[in-house]
Structure 1
Amino acid sequence: MDEFIARASQWDPGFPARIRGATAQEIQALARLTGLPLPGVYEAFLARMGHGDGDLDVGMDGTTDISAMIDYYRDSLSEDEGFPPHCIVIGTGSISSDICLEIVPTGEPRVVFTEGNKVYGLYAESLMGLLFRNAFLGFRLYTRPSYAFYASSYAALGLMNRVDEARRVILELGFEEEWFSDSICVCAERGDTAIGITQFEKQGMGVSIGSRDASELARIGEVLKKKLGLSLQKPR
């Protein structure tokens, strides 16, 4: 977690001052309520960002505050409501009823969207990857002087996931992919230009581009329109 905070601080020097960690007692209380061992990466997140994630928006306009998670678990237990098996609720947001860590047999827990006791979509392949991804999109990319957002509906994409195709397009343009990219979001840079491609399961695609060179946005946009059928939604 220290490595992540150091990287995020390079992208946004004000980041460390905005995060607030939870106490060991709060983390222990949440662990007892979940009935599952908290993954080490989540414990580390809570210890540094349990009361404030510094505008990473992990909760997607909702909250990941540990106080809210403790209250949510207590309320759910009193109302005899269940959660999906092997899942730990880490956030409640506006796009999903819950955001959970899904414990898998091997590897890092996945971050998933859930509704009641059902998992219905992938948010990110790992929590650490999600933190880097959100910092890249929110601090590294969006704060560039010139910004544009391209998008396409799921129907216009042929009801297909086209992230891998989009990945190939930007790699052909000379972008270098960041290690924290996954099957949901591809983050990459080329010189003074950063790009983020996101397509959730059975959803449309959005592509954010930030650059110090405004002319780059139009050049890349033309390729996105031609290769993927995306259209410009939000220039700045």
Structure 2
Amino acid sequence: MKELIELISQYDPSYPQNLRGVSSEELLELEQLVGRPLPGRLKAFLRSMGKAPGNVLAPGCWPRAERIRHFYQGERRHRLSPRYIFIATSAQPQGREYFYDCGLLAEAEDCPIVQARQGMGGAPGEAFAPAFPSLRDMLFWVAFQTKRMEALPFRVFLRPSDRNAGYGAAETAAMILEDLEELMPRLGFRRLPSTSAQNPLFERGDAALAAHGSAAPQDLSVVLAAAQVRERARLWDLIANTTLLI
């Protein structure tokens, strides 16, 4: 979690002062309650900030030991398949719960993250939807959104255009992400190495862009933020003219 803390500290230097993690004994008790080993990435996060994750603007998306414990002390744990591990609840968007999907792996470093409506995860007939390819992607994407992009006052949300020449959703999403990887460095942005190709993060001194592809191409979303409204409009125009985003 050193990389994550270093990233957030670039935008909020006081951030590390408010972190508090769980002990090895508490982590072992949590694994016993869950009934299976926790992935290495989640254990590292909980050790660093599992009790107090600091001042984040989207606290519900951050795993908290007490919330995981509360879930597994309740009745809902009995209807959840053992392939899933509850990790977090977020009030936005629209009350979502997040789960690891670790399949039958006895131990893993990281796993895909899926989501469900709040209170419905594991319920009969309630399908899980892809959210992030890994907890690493989720944590860095949320941190960048809340600590970097929220500091830029002029934002715009972009979506795939209908002018996709007959390509399907998956092809369109792949083309957009590939085009962004090529275009953004030419516009002076650096690509943060923290996330996968599905969730690229770009920044420069006066602007930032975050794309979120999850594993469902129809859900591709892109957020552009800038310090000046005219620069946001200029970048928006360049992106719209170069990619299949509008």
Q: Calculate the TM-score normalised by the size of structure 2.
A: 0.75
Partner of 2:244 in structure 1? 228
Query: d(CA) in 2 for partners of 1:150 and 1:8?
Result: 23
Partner of 1:47 in structure 2? 47
Query: d(CA) in 2 for partners of 1:172 and 1:229?
Result: 13
Q: 2:114 aligns with which of 112, 115, 135?
A: 112
In terms of fraction of residues, the more helix-rich structure is: 2
Q: Can you list the C-alpha shifts for 1:25-67, whole angstroms capped at 9, x where unaligned?
A: 332221111111112221111122212323163634xx63211
Q: Equivalent residues in 2 for 1:69-218 (5 A)? A: 69-76=68-75, 81-94=78-91, 95=94, 97-103=96-102, 108-114=110-116, 115-116=121-122, 120-144=128-152, 146-152=153-159, 160-161=169-170, 162-170=172-180, 171-173=182-184, 174=186, 175-182=189-196, 184-190=198-204, 192-200=206-214, 201=216, 204-218=219-233
Query: d(CA) in 2 for partners of 1:100 and 1:80?
Result: 12
Query: d(CA) in 2 for partners of 1:135 and 1:75?
Result: 29
In terms of fraction of residues, the more strand-rich structure is: 1
Q: Label 1:57 to 1:184 Cα distance change in 2 as closer, same or farther (>3 A).
A: farther
Q: Match of 1:142, SS?
A: helix
Aligned-pair distance for 1:90? 0.8
Query: d(CA) in 1 for partners of 2:57 and 2:2?
Result: 16
Query: d(CA) in 1 for partners of 2:27 and 2:90?
Result: 21
Q: Label 1:27 to 1:83 Cα distance change in 2 as closer, same or farther (>3 A).
A: same
Q: Calculate the TM-score normalised by the size of structure 1.
A: 0.77
Query: d(CA) in 1 for partners of 2:162 and 2:74?
Result: 39
- Consecutive unaligned residues of structure 1, counting only runs of 5 or more, are 231-236
Q: Label 1:39 to 1:149 Cα distance change in 2 as closer, same or farther (>3 A).
A: same
Count of paired positions: 225
Aligned-partner residue type, residue 41 of structure 2: V
Identical columns (%):
23
- Consecutive unaligned residues of structure 2, counting only runs of 5 or more, are none
Query: d(CA) in 2 for partners of 1:5 and 1:180?
Result: 12
Q: Label 1:80 to 1:67 Cα distance change in 2 as closer, same or farther (>3 A).
A: closer
Aligned-pair distance for 1:160? 1.9
Query: d(CA) in 2 for partners of 1:181 and 1:113?
Result: 19
Query: d(CA) in 2 for partners of 1:148 and 1:137?
Result: 11
Q: Label 1:202 to 1:209 Cα distance change in 2 as closer, same or farther (>3 A).
A: closer
Query: d(CA) in 2 for partners of 1:131 and 1:66?
Result: 15
Q: Equivalent residues in 2 for 1:29-44 (5 A)? A: 29-44=29-44
